[in-house]
Amino acid sequence: MKKVILFGAAAVFALSLAACKKDYTCVCKDSDGEELGRVTYKTTKSKAKDACNTSASTYGTTITCAIQ
């Protein structure tokens, strides 16, 4: 019985990890608010934010990028 419960818990844990990967869209805009581009990442939210912030630093200080 313990093995069944342990296996069930492991299966739920594995599914919860797989469910964390979603599509996150990074939108970059210039200082006037004009959209410069969009990139969609299929990953976790924290990794998508990191990638989006990297995109913003690549463009320069007048560009802002955010996850939507």
**For residues 25-36, average pLDDT:** 91
Residue 11 lies in a domain: no
Asked if 63 and 30 count as a contact pair (C-beta separation under 8 A), the reply is yes
- Token readout for 38 is 């969009």
**Structural domains in the chain (count):** 1
Residue 31 lies in a domain: yes
Inform me whether the pLDDT recorded for 15 exceeds 90.
no
Task: Residue 48: count other Cβ atoms within 10 Å of its Cβ.
Answer: 21
Residue 33 lies in a domain: yes
**For residues 53-68, average pLDDT:** 80
Strand 64-67 with 22-29, pairing: antiparallel
Inform me whether the pLDDT recorded for 9 exceeds 50.
no
**For residues 8-26, average pLDDT:** 65
Residue 2 lies in a domain: no
Of the candidates 56, 32, 16, the residue with the CA atom closest to the CA atom of residue 67: 56
Residue 16 lies in a domain: no
Residue 34 lies in a domain: yes
Residue 13 lies in a domain: no
Residue 62 lies in a domain: yes
Range of the domain at 25: 21-67
CA distance 50 to 48: 5
Banded model confidence at residue 49, pLDDT cuts 50, 70, 90: very high
